[in-house]
């Protein structure tokens, strides 16, 4: 009470203490930004930067399982340049990525356009569409392996025993090209939900008034799709396309669970070949070199994504200046 009376009587006698260095530090905006980013940076450093750096280092060594190696420079890469199995895996990866991505986007866009309309049970159908993406990859891969089984295939059963179109069951996984196409079909089935839901979210942002104005101008369905839907959907298409390419190019679980890279290494992708050489083959350096060889392809896909997102005038349906 006495202190309060004294402050009211002599207001000039109350002097605010200067802020401490700690208070000034926490009032400094760049420091707060750094402090908020520190946990994320720590997680990326531990779980991304360190494994990536270790993998790049191993690619230049002759390390094997149970034995530390020494630096050998580009010998692993020189050996891969003369390895026909490696070049087969590169060809398979590019072919697998191109065909599977095209199939996923064609069917995914069609499904997104369908779900964007007013149809009965629309919410239920959207949830059902997500099932292939939600199911664990290994579980769905085992299901596809059962479908492709030379003895128990439901597809072969229908073709041979029900429709009588063939005399013998189809050998889906026993020959190179049927095995490749079988893997592509399984990948398309699994990837359609991601593409469809992503593009459906983009379609929801397009104003219906644009379609109404085009209808008044006498535009056909194809003209509305080409002049309104595609340009306004292009930024979303660019991001979804790049993510799909990254996921497909580095696919491992589905291929390894169904074929293990067979028959005769004909379905090996770069990811599965890297694993086979590094773990079952115990050649960690060679396996790491194959994995590092994937980086330029992945960087190229990322650059395409940045280029696509940067073309902001696509949203207005015109090109950049």
Assess if residue 155 is contained within a domain.
yes
Residue 246 CA to residue 100 CA, distance in Å, equals 12
Least confident range of 48-57, 122-131, 172-181: 122-131
What average pLDDT does the segment 21-44 reach? 81
What average pLDDT does the segment 275-286 reach? 92
pLDDT of residue 4: 52
DSSP assignments along 262-307, one per residue: -STTTT--HHHHHHHHHTTT--HHHHHHHHHHTHHHHHHHHHHHHH
Assess if residue 87 is contained within a domain.
yes
Domain limits at 280? 78-316
Model pLDDT for residues 157-173, shown as the tens digit of each residue: 899 888 888 888 888 99
Separation of CA 107 from chain center: 17
Cβ partners under 8 Å of residue 252, min gap 6? 269, 271, 272, 275
pTM of this prediction? 0.82
pLDDT of residue 42: 86
Assess if residue 53 is contained within a domain.
no
pLDDT of residue 16: 66
User: Is pLDDT at 273 greater than 90 in this prediction?
Assistant: yes
pLDDT of residue 81: 93
Q: What is the CATH number of the domain that holds 252?
A: 1.10.3720.10
Q: Reduced to 3 states, what is the DSSP secondary structure of residue 61?
A: strand
Q: Greatest CA separation found in the chain?
A: 109
Give the pLDDT band (50/70/90) at residue 270.
very high
Of the two residues 97 and 30, the one the predictor is more confident about is 97
Number of C-beta neighbours around residue 119 at 10 A = 9
Assess if residue 42 is contained within a domain.
no
Of the two residues 56 and 235, the one the predictor is more confident about is 56
Q: Long-range contacts for 86-90 (Cβ within 8 Å, ≥24 apart)? A: 86/273, 86/290, 88/265, 88/266, 88/268, 89/265, 89/268, 89/269, 89/270, 89/272, 89/273, 89/290, 90/270, 90/293
Tokens for 18, please give them.
């200067």
Residue 276 CA to residue 256 CA, distance in Å, equals 10
User: Is pLDDT at 313 greater than 80 in this prediction?
Assistant: no
Percent of the chain at pLDDT exceeding 70: 89
Residue 135 CA to residue 192 CA, distance in Å, equals 13
Tokens for 39, please give them.
């946990």
Assess if residue 167 is contained within a domain.
yes
Assess if residue 153 is contained within a domain.
yes
Assess if residue 35 is contained within a domain.
no
Number of C-beta neighbours around residue 175 at 10 A = 14
Q: Long-range contacts for 60-67 (Cβ within 8 Å, ≥24 apart)? A: 60/285, 60/289, 61/285, 62/285, 63/284, 63/285, 63/288, 64/282, 64/283, 64/284, 64/285, 65/279, 65/282, 65/284, 66/282
Percent of the chain at pLDDT exceeding 90: 39
Residue 180 CA to residue 259 CA, distance in Å, equals 9
pLDDT of residue 96: 95
- 268 neighbors 88 (Cβ within 8 angstroms): yes
pLDDT of residue 314: 46
Q: For residue 317, report the phi and psi dihedrals to the nearest 5 degrees.
A: 80, 20
Of the two residues 17 and 174, the one the predictor is more confident about is 174
CA contacts within 13 A on the Cβ side of 73: 3
pLDDT of residue 311: 57
What average pLDDT does the segment 286-301 reach? 90
Least confident range of 80-84, 186-190, 264-268, 299-303: 299-303
The full length of the chain comes to 321
Model pLDDT for residues 53-92, shown as the tens digit of each residue: 989 999 999 999 888 889 999 999 999 999 999 999 999 9
Assess if residue 12 is contained within a domain.
no
Tally of domains in the chain: 1
Cβ partners under 8 Å of residue 274, min gap 6? 287, 288, 290, 291, 294
Report the chain's terminal Cα–Cα distance, integer Å.
73
Helix H or strand E encompassing 19: none
**Average pLDDT over all residues of the chain:** 85
What average pLDDT does the segment 237-244 reach? 86
Q: Which of 106, 111, 104, 308 is nearest to 197 (CA)?
A: 111
Of the two residues 298 and 122, the one the predictor is more confident about is 298
- 156 neighbors 174 (Cβ within 8 angstroms): no
């Amino acid at each position: 009470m006495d202190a309060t009376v004294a402050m009211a009587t002599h207001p000039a006698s109350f002097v605010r203490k200067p802020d401490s260095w700690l208070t000034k530090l926490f009032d400094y905006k760049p420091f707060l930004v750094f402090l908020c980013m520190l946990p994320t940076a720590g997680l990326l450093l531990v779980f991304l930067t360190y494994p990536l750096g270790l993998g790049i280092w191993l690619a230049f060594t002759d390390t094997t399982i149970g034995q530390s190696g020494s630096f050998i420079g580009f010998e692993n890469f020189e050996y891969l340049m003369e390895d026909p199995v490696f070049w087969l895996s590169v060809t398979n990866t590019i072919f697998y990525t191109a065909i599977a991505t095209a199939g996923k986007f064609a069917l995914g866009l069609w499904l997104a356009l369908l779900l964007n309309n007013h149809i009965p049970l629309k919410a239920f159908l959207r949830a059902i569409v997500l099932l292939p993406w939600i199911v664990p990859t290994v579980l769905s891969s085992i299901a596809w392996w059962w479908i492709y089984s030379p003895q128990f295939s439901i597809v072969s059963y229908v073709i041979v025993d029900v429709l009588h179109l063939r005399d013998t069951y189809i050998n889906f996984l026993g020959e190179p090209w049927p095995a490749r196409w079988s893997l592509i079909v399984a990948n398309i089935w699994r990837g359609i939900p991601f593409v469809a839901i992503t593009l459906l979210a983009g379609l929801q942002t397009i104003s219906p008034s644009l379609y109404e104005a085009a209808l008044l101008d006498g535009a056909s369905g194809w003209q509305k799709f080409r002049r309104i839907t595609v340009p306004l959907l292009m930024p979303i298409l660019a991001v979804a396309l790049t993510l799909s390419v990254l996921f497909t190019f580095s696919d491992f679980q589905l291929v390894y669970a169904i074929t293990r890279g067979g028959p005769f290494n004909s379905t090996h992708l770069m990811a599965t070949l890297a694993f086979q050489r590094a773990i079952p083959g115990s050649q960690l350096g060679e396996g790491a070199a194959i994995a590092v060889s994937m980086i330029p392809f992945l960087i190229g896909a990322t650059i395409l994504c940045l280029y696509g997102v940067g073309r902001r005038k696509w949203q207005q349906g015109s090109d950049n200046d």
